[in-house]
């Protein structure tokens, strides 16, 4: 029955989002609520950017409906787990409401980065208040259990980091939603394996929202007013949910079966957006620029500079994310998690070096005919 309820949650989300997104498109065109192209953006036409408005209400409706059905049919949560689950989900909803309103304001009229950052800190700080924080590194770099004095601030930092990483990776069609979908599917099955059905339901419910959005975002035609972006409303919502799921999976409590290297496994699903943000910030600092100054140095910009189309670039980046997640999960029982993380970092550095060489060679080949 738990599997049935998860399927119901996914179906409700996908169906409701399929109904809402065309209405958002209609309103956006009537009110001229567009994402205007500029030098940094890939698209050449004005495209609605309010697709993310459908995410939070749909996820909330889906999860609440299924939980109600579970309770009425006698499959409710037992009292002891509920005493821990309820505060976490109530806090998650509170944080999502704040980020949802902030995202809408930013997509419509714009919000200063400092104001967004303060709101993100407040939302991130809500999770440790509910008892949800990273309390174990599982031997990573020789570190085991963490004290609240370190674990809680570190959790806040991680939530803000992941939320912004999803926001910043949203540069080409299908990339942010595709990477989020990969992570959500992995989390969904990981939580099923642990018997944590409520968290799996949240993951699959969120994935259900992304299925119709991905269709309109990637395959929708801008000429026929069928294309839409998620905007900050969507990326902030996804980042917050993904950080919530990652922290929950990595948390060591007496009610959750212990998984070796759970911290590395949880965040390996987010390696591509996380590592990409770190690399971009380092490059900006090395070039004497502000780490918050936008540029064209993200992973999707590199793939486009190498000559890939936006769709091929998106598919290759999703493949890379799947490989990182799959390899880490499969080999974690046999490899020390510190070596695993160091190996991930070295492979990422090697890939970026290779991509940079290919990009430079491509640029040189384009310039050489002009010189002649």
- Tens digits of residue pLDDT in 54-75: 999 999 999 999 999 988 887 7
Phi and psi at 34, nearest 5°, equal -120, 160
Q: Is residue 321 part of a domain?
A: no
Tell me what pLDDT residue 347 has. Answer: 95
Q: Is residue 62 part of a domain?
A: yes
d(CA 236, CA 367): 40
Q: Is residue 357 part of a domain?
A: no
Mean pLDDT of the chain, nearest integer:
89
Q: Is residue 306 part of a domain?
A: no
Tell me what pLDDT residue 37 has. Answer: 65
**Beta strands 47-48 and 136-140, pairing class:** unpaired
H/E stretch holding 57 reads helix 55-72
- Tens digits of residue pLDDT in 19-57: 999 999 999 888 887 766 665 556 566 788 899 999 999
Q: Is residue 203 part of a domain?
A: yes
**Beta strands 34-35 and 143-145, pairing class:** unpaired
Tell me what pLDDT residue 359 has. Answer: 80
Its domain, for residue 8, covers 2-269
Higher pLDDT pick, 156 / 290: 156
Question: Treating both helix axes as pointing N-terminal to C-terminal, what angle do 231-250 and 197-214 enclose, rounded to 10 degrees?
Answer: 150
Q: Is residue 330 part of a domain?
A: no
Q: Are 217 and 42 in contact (CB under 8 A)?
A: no
d(CA 9, CA 66): 6
Tell me what pLDDT residue 372 has. Answer: 44
d(CA 96, CA 277): 22
d(CA 118, CA 129): 17
Residues 6+ apart with CB under 8 A from 81: 255
Tell me what pLDDT residue 297 has. Answer: 82
Entry pTM: 0.93
Instruction: State both tokens at 38.
Output: 């500029």
Q: How confident is the model at residue 216 (pLDDT cuts 50, 70, 90)?
A: very high
Task: Answer whether residue 87 shows pLDDT above 60.
Answer: yes
Q: Is residue 277 part of a domain?
A: no
Task: Answer whether residue 178 shows pLDDT above 80.
Answer: yes
- Tens digits of residue pLDDT in 131-145: 999 999 998 998 989
Tell me what pLDDT residue 29 has. Answer: 86
Task: Answer whether residue 298 shows pLDDT above 90.
Answer: no
**Tally of domains within the chain:** 1
Q: Is residue 84 part of a domain?
A: yes
Q: How confident is the model over 301-315, as a mean pLDDT? A: 90
């Amino acid at each position: 029955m738990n599997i049935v309820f998860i399927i119901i949650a996914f179906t409700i989300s996908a169906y409701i989002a399929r109904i809402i997104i065309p209405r958002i498109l209609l309103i956006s065109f009537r009110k001229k609520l567009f994402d205007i192209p500029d030098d940094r953006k890939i698209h050449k036409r004005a495209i609605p950017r309010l697709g993310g408005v459908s995410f939070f209400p749909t996820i909330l409706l889906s999860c609440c409906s299924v939980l109600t059905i579970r309770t009425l049919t006698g499959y409710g949560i037992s009292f002891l787990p509920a005493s821990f689950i309820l505060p976490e989900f109530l806090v998650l909803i509170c944080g999502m409401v704040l980020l949802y309103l902030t995202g809408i304001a930013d997509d419509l009229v714009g919000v200063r980065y400092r104001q967004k950052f303060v709101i993100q800190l407040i939302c991130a700080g809500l999770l440790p208040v509910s008892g949800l924080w990273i309390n174990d590194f599982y031997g990573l770099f020789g570190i085991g259990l963490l004290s609240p004095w370190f674990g809680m601030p570190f959790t806040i930092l991680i939530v803000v980091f992941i939320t912004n990483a999803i926001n910043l990776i949203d540069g080409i069609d299908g990339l942010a939603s595709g990477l989020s979908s990969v992570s959500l599917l992995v989390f969904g099955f990981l939580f099923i394996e642990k018997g944590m059905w409520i968290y799996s339901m949240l993951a699959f419910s969120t994935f259900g929202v992304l299925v119709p959005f991905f269709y309109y975002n990637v395959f929708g035609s801008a000429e026929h007013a069928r294309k839409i972006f998620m905007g900050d409303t969507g990326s902030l919502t996804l980042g917050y949910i993904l950080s919530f799921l990652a922290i929950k999976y990595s948390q060591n409590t007496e009610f959750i079966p212990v998984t070796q290297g759970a911290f590395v496994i949880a965040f390996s699903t987010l390696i591509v957006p996380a590592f990409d943000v770190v690399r971009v910030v380092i490059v900006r600092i090395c070039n004497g620029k502000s780490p918050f100054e936008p540029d064209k140095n993200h992973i999707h910009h590199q793939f486009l500079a190498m000559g890939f189309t936006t769709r091929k670039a998106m598919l290759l980046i999703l493949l890379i994310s799947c490989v990182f997640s799959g390899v880490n999960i499969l080999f974690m029982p046999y490899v020390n998690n510190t070596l695993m993380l160091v190996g991930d970092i070295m492979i990422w550095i090697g890939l970026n070096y290779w991509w940079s060489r290919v990009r430079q060679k491509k640029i040189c080949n384009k310039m050489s005919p002009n010189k002649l």
